[in-house]
Structure 1
Amino acid sequence: MKPIFPLHADLRVEAKPQLSPADLESDAALTAHDDAVEAWGDRGWAAVGRICRWAVTSGADLPFRCPPPTVPPRPG
């Protein structure tokens, strides 16, 4: 039986990583922040892709193609 709605984890909005004023003094902190923002964006777009594929599986006739999965599908 397929789910009626996308996974709740894909619908939850994750806060964007914030940079503190003290972090501006550290190259390592700036690099870590850049890495965190990149990972945050990747997770967000992966969720959009999963929701898109869920919509198509549920019968949506979209005028575009959904991106392919970048990781194996989640079980369930």
Structure 2
Amino acid sequence: MTELAKRYRPREKIVRRSVAELSDNELIQGLLGSGGIGRPVNKLARRILLLLRTEPMITYHNLTSIAGIGAAKATVILSA
């Protein structure tokens, strides 16, 4: 999230304010922490939100089918 000013980053917003002030997208970005090469964290969060809205229950396989989501990020999301 180096392209965002520090005050706009989800993790910094959580520290300064509260999670109640963050959007679902920002909360997922906070869980993910970072994206990957060519896969910004905000776009990964958007893909996960779309999955949550279209699937009755998300699985490890659903998440890891998203380019940029590996085992570590999938297990964090599933645990949240």
TM > 0.5 between the two? no
Larger radius of gyration: 1
Higher helix share: 2
The higher relative CO (CA closer than 8 Å, separation ≥ 6) is in: 1
TM-score by length of structure 1 reads: 0.28
TM-score by length of structure 2 reads: 0.27
